[in-house]
Chain A
Amino acid sequence: MKFLTQILLFFLLVCLAISACNTSPAKDVNLLAVRQAKVQQVLNSSLPIITLENLDKNATKAQEVAINDPSFQQSLYDPQHKAYKNEIFQVNPLSQSDNIQGGYGCPDGQCYQVEMYNYALNRTTIGIVNVKRERMIKTLTYPDVQPNLPEHLVDLAVYIANNSPEVQEALGGKPDKDKAIMERTKTALNKSRCERSMHLCVAPTYVVEPKALWAIVDLTDEQLVGTRWTDVGTTGINITERRLQNDLITEKYCEKENTYAQGDWSLKYMMTSSDGLLVYDVKYKGKSVIKSLKLVDWHVSYSNREGFGYSDAIGCPYFSSAAVVAVEAPKFSPLVENNDTVGFTLSQNYWSEGWPAPCNYNYQQKFEFYTNGSFRPAMASIGRGCGNDGIYRPILRIALAGDKQNLFEYTKDNAWQVWKTEKWNKQSDLTQYSDEGYEFKIATENAQYYIEPSRGQFSDGGRGDNAYFYLTKDKPQADEGTTDLPTLGTCCNIDYRQGPQLFINNENTENEALVMWYVPEIRNDNRKGNEYCWAERVLEDGVYVNKIYPCFAGPKFVMIN
């Protein structure tokens, strides 16, 4: 009964995927929907292997023998018996040279080579089958090897590319599907790679003389990775995921100043070599309010191992001092609170290639700009690190605009006491907050803000900052962070010595240009249901996806009047 239901469901999905089910020509088929329906059906079946169709008699027999052989079924399930997405890519007669070199001793024409790809593990299994004897002769497994694509996956890759907004925007409209498939000289499926995700990727390429548009398609996740124009004459170097991503970040954000304006806000932003995304020259209602915001370093230490940890810089992927690099472009998105859009967010991710495997890292910066003039620079670790005893201490540098600034600390009874000289403090149980939750107030020529540290009140899952707060005089000539800072301090100091204390010299801070350094202290957690600064890979629809538990921290600057 269950099997029949699955079959019916499959056909229903196929019909839904085809516009005007019984009359539409083949070109209208939504290949992606058909594919996804088929994957679901196979994953739920007793033998989760997507098989090749329309094979001749011998090849069909070879495939049948292979998929039913226990040696060929070694990587069908994960340890929890959830099915991986496996697919037969090729079934071909064994070549005579392979027959001889492999020592299979197959009489001419009796042996076939069956190639199966495991999307989750990026692994190819090859079975050598004697069809006459209906026996598997040998099974070989190749990690990190991807077989040649079958025709239907070529079609799927071209379909995904043709229907992506990026390709259509680049080509000035949707490419003709039939023309693309038939005229291989105009559109070819170039070999490509996804070195970072280690997914199966190819690149439908559209020639528009004198250039060619490469569209990298990830067939593991069944989505477009990105596009890039090249000169048609360029040979040798294929466009791949990493090259595409590195070139995009480098050209558009590391080497170029970017501007953005929305509502009353305008700002500039750029990727730095080792201080993350720099947001600067920020104006609100035409007045300069922020000189610069950036994330200088991430200090990570492990409480169970004294002195163990590291100082990670974040930044550009190519020619930089960053240990964890930007992979995707910065993103702007609406800032929504209580179903109301109250501003916009600029966010940027950085990650190690092996993340979320142990000892790999993923960091995020976000800058929230509120319509009412408030703003919040925040950051998160998204794991996973080298253990469940990790403490993250990101170093946020905040310089407001103005040469005459004063910082006040809330004491009690609505009293605010000015900080007269450079110094630091630590957010703790003894910290005094105003009724609204403000710890500091800063006044410049153009604006005044309350400073509200996170105590878990923000709606991004943050559980509180426990931050060190340092105030220093802004000295642009003194190499104290105006330009890119090299690694600031060691990873593993467990007190105020996180780096900014080096710039504290008891100098006057009244009516001066100031720099605030904000260093939250965030403990990770991997306990089930309490995950924080953590990530893990889970198998979904036969492939691994990342489940993330970010730990956002950062103070909100609440504009006064």
Chain B
Amino acid sequence: MFSYFRLKLMLLSWLISPLLFAQDSGCAGVPGFIEKFGFNLQTTAISTDETNVVGLCLVDVTKRYTYAQKPFQHETWDDAGYLATIVRNRDGSCYVIPVPVVNNLKNPALLQNIIYKVDGQTGVMRKHIELPAGDKNISQNPYGLLGLTNDCDNNFFYAASVYHSDRANERGVIYSLDINTKEIIDKIENIDAMGLQVWRNNGIKKLLIGKARSSDVYSVEISPNGKFVGQPKLEFTVNNLGPRGDDRVRKFKIDPSSGDLLVFGTEFYFNLIAPSKDQSSTYRFRYDNKNQAWKFVGIEKSAY
């Protein structure tokens, strides 16, 4: 017996976005399990954002799902509760993180620092990397991992955890991970972050970091071997932008046509309220190489 979540209108979408395989770009491979499960690559998306579905599912975008007729789920895809941030590797494997929605019933607070892997061929989801966890202030902070991204040039993944943070203490960690060996390569401590994105400019590779406690975006240089170089520096902020003005950056995306940075913001105050999709905005930023600064271009309609 599980409690279904509220209507699509209210689904927590700040970390979540369905990926249509045929439209995807970058280094994300196509999972073999899509066709194995009988789905058409051209019309199928993998999603953590469907009404009445806990965890991951495959969505045929040509179909209309109902309360009774739900999207396809492998039997392991709801094992970790509600999930977010699907990152696909070259081999088509999908990596996801758990994020509680409205309450901790499906997402026990002590199990929120685990990266799960959905095998690209079999579709079976299993625990992949258990990041340092242990005791935490559950009543003040039900969250663990909030961000995950990868570097298309290698096997390095970057994960943001706020597991040990509470109201008075910013104890978040950004991990650099080798996704194959499961080794922690490096980490930055005492920083609460959500959105992460690898960004290259003039031959320098940086990790963009959306802060979880403010509307600021920081960056830190990353070396070819996945180590962090120096301390995070402020790049820009979405403070006072958009209809709310206090959004946190939950996700980034590089617009392949323009090279612009799309910055996805939403309300986030380390509680379990469910912001509706109306309460999410996409901000477009462009890097000005001459002045070495980001320029705010405008606000776009929310994109999911």
Contacts and interface: CB of A to CB of B under 8 A. Distances in A.
A317 B269 contact: yes
Contact of A195 (B9, B103, B246, B270): B246
A320 B271 contact: yes
Contact of A191 (B1, B5, B240, B243): B240
Contact of B140 (A273, A311, A312, A493): A273
Given A238-B240, A319-B140, A312 B102 contact: yes
B272 A321 contact: yes
A310 B102 contact: yes
A222 interface: no
Interface residues of B, number: 41
B159 to A, nearest CB: 21
Interface residues of A, number: 51
Nearest to A143: B243
A310 B274 CA distance: 12
Interface string B246-270: 1000000000000000000001011
A195 B278 CA distance: 12
Given A250-B167, A486-B138, A308 B271 contact: no
A305 B271 contact: no
B274 to A, nearest CB: 7
A359 B11 CA distance: 10
Interface string B112-139: 0000000000000000000000000011
If over half of A's interface residues share one DSSP class (helix, strand or loop), that class is named, otherwise mixed; here it is: loop
B78 to A, nearest CB: 14
Contacts of A246: 269
A319 B271 contact: yes
A193 B244 contact: yes
B103 A308 contact: no
A322 interface: yes
Nearest to B165: A319
B139 A307 contact: no
Interface string B33-71: 000000000000000000010000000000000010000
A492 interface: yes
A104 B74 CA distance: 56
A358 B67 CA distance: 18
Contact of A307 (B3, B271, B272): B3
B270 A492 contact: no
A86 interface: no
A320 B6 contact: no
A487 B2 contact: no
Given A240-B245, A308-B4, A486-B109, A320 B139 contact: yes
B60 to A, nearest CB: 23
Given A195-B244, A324-B273, A491-B3, A353 B138 contact: no
B142 interface: yes
A235 B109 CA distance: 36
B207 to A, nearest CB: 23
Contacts of B6: 310, 359, 386
Contacts of A319: 140-141, 166-167, 269-271
B35 to A, nearest CB: 32
Interface string A302-332: 0001011111110011111111110000000
A311 B279 contact: no
Given A193-B244, A195-B245, A243-B246, A317 B271 contact: yes
Contacts of A492: 1, 3-4
Of B109, B237, B240, most A-chain CB atoms within 10 Å: B240
A316 B102 contact: no
Contacts of B243: 144, 195, 198
A64 interface: no
Contacts of B267: 195, 353
Interface string B274-290: 11101100000000000
B167 A322 contact: no
Interface in A85-111: none
B1 A359 contact: no
Contacts of B155: none
A11 B102 CA distance: 53
A318 B166 CA distance: 10
B185 interface: no
A321 B104 contact: yes
Given A308-B4, A308-B52, A308-B67, A486 B273 contact: no
A231 interface: no
A145 to B, nearest CB: 8
Interface string A116-159: 00000000000000000000000000001000000000000000
B7 A359 contact: yes
Contacts of A325: 269, 271, 273
A498 interface: no
B293 interface: no
A131 B106 CA distance: 62
Q: Which of B52, B102, B271 has the most CB of A within 10 A?
A: B271
B273 A490 contact: no
Interface string A227-264: 00000000011101011001000100011000000000
Closest 5 CB pairs of A and B: A144-B243, A273-B139, A319-B167, A487-B103, A484-B139
Given A240-B245, A310-B3, 19 more contacts: A238-B240, A240-B246, A250-B167, A255-B167, A307-B4, A308-B4, A310-B5, A318-B269, A319-B269, A319-B271, A321-B103, A321-B271, A321-B272, A322-B273, A353-B273, A358-B7, A484-B139, A487-B104, A493-B1
13 contacts: A195-B243, A195-B267, A319-B140, A319-B141, A319-B271, A321-B138, A323-B103, A353-B273, A354-B276, A487-B103, A487-B105, A490-B3, A492-B3
Interface of A: 144, 191, 193, 195, 198, 236-238, 240, 242-243, 246, 250, 254-255, 272-274, 305, 307-313, 316-325, 352-354, 358-360, 386, 483-484, 486-487, 490-493
